Structure 1
Amino acid sequence: MFQKLSQKLKMAGLSALIGLGTLMALPAGAQADNLYFGFGIGSGSGDHVGREIGRSHRAERNRHQYRSCSARQAVRKAERFGMRRARVVDVNRRTIRVAGRIDRGRSQMVFARARGCPVLRW
C-alpha cells in the first residue's frame, strides 16, 4: 500500500514539474516581444511602432486613384509614343480613343481602361 502511494506521489510531482516548466517557458517568449530598451536619440525598434515609414498619405491616395486608365494618362502616353497635338476624341466604358498627328499625317490610338493604359490599336 505504501508502495502504491509513493508511486502516485512521484507521478503527481513529475507531472507538476513538467506543467510548471511549460508555464514558465510560455510567458518568457510572449514578454520578449513587448520589452524594448532604448538609449539615446532614435533608439532602434520602438520609435515607429504603429505607422508605416516612407509612405505619405498623398502617395497612398494617388495609388488608389489611378487603378484604371484616365483620359489624361492616355493623352500623355500617346505623346510619349510620338503623337503631336494629342487629344481625346471618344471615351466609353472600356476604351479611350486619342487622335493627333504623327509624321505620316493624322492618326488615332485606342487605349484600354485598364491599369497602365495598354494600347489596343494604333
Structure 2
Amino acid sequence: MFQKLKIATLSAMIGLGTLAAAPATAQADSLYFGFGIGGPSGGYVYGNSGRSHRAERPRRHYRACSPRQAVRKAERMGLRRARIVRANRNIIRVAGRTHWGRQHVVFARAPRCPVIR
C-alpha cells in the first residue's frame, strides 16, 4: 500500500514539474489547477479574457471642456439643435430648443463640463 502511494506521489510530482517547465508561448491561453473546499479543479482557457484591444489603450484626460463636449452634453440633456452662442476662456454658452421653447445652458471650462446656469 505504501509503495503504491509513493509511486502515485512521484508521478504527480513529475507531471506537475513538466507542466511548470513547459514554455509559455501563447499568453492568452492558460492551463490552471486549483485545490479548494469543493475539491480539486482544473481547466483550460482558450482565447483572450473578453476585453477588446481598445480597452488597453490609455484614455486621454482633457484639462478643460471643449465646445464640442459642451454641445454633446447639452444634446444629452435634451436640447435639440444645440449650437454654441458664446464661448470665452471661462464659459461656453449653448442654445437650443426644448418642448417649451428656446433654452440656454452655460457650461464652465472645467473637466467634464459642469453646468453653471
Interval containing the TM-score (normalised by the shorter chain):
0.5 to 0.7
- Residues 66-90 of structure 1 show CA distances to partners (whole Å, capped at 9, x for unaligned) of 2211000100100111101100011
Residues 96 and 41 (structure 1), Cα distance of their counterparts in 2 relative to 1, 3 Å cut: same
Between the two proteins, what is the percent identity of the paired residues?
57
Aligned to 1:6: none
Count of residue pairs brought into register by the alignment: 70
Aligned to 2:79: 83
CA shift for structure 1 position 104: 1.0
Structure 1's unaligned 5+ residue stretches are: 1-36, 44-53
> Which aligned segments of 4 or more residues in structure 1 are displaced greater than 2 angstroms?
none
Aligned to 2:25: 41
Structure 2's unaligned 5+ residue stretches are: 1-20, 28-54
TM-score, structure 1 normalization:
0.51
- Residues 5-54 of structure 1 show CA distances to partners (whole Å, capped at 9, x for unaligned) of xxxxxxxxxxxxxxxxxxxxxxxxxxxxxxxx7723136xxxxxxxxxx6
Query: For 2:22 and 2:115, how far apart are their aligned partners in 1?
Result: 54
Mapping 1:1-122, distance limit 5 Å: 39-42=23-26, 55-56=56-57, 59-60=58-59, 63-64=60-61, 66-121=62-117
Q: Which has the higher strand share?
A: 2
Instruction: In structure 1, give the amino acid aligned to 2:77.
Output: F
TM-score, structure 2 normalization:
0.53
Q: Which has the higher helix share?
A: 1
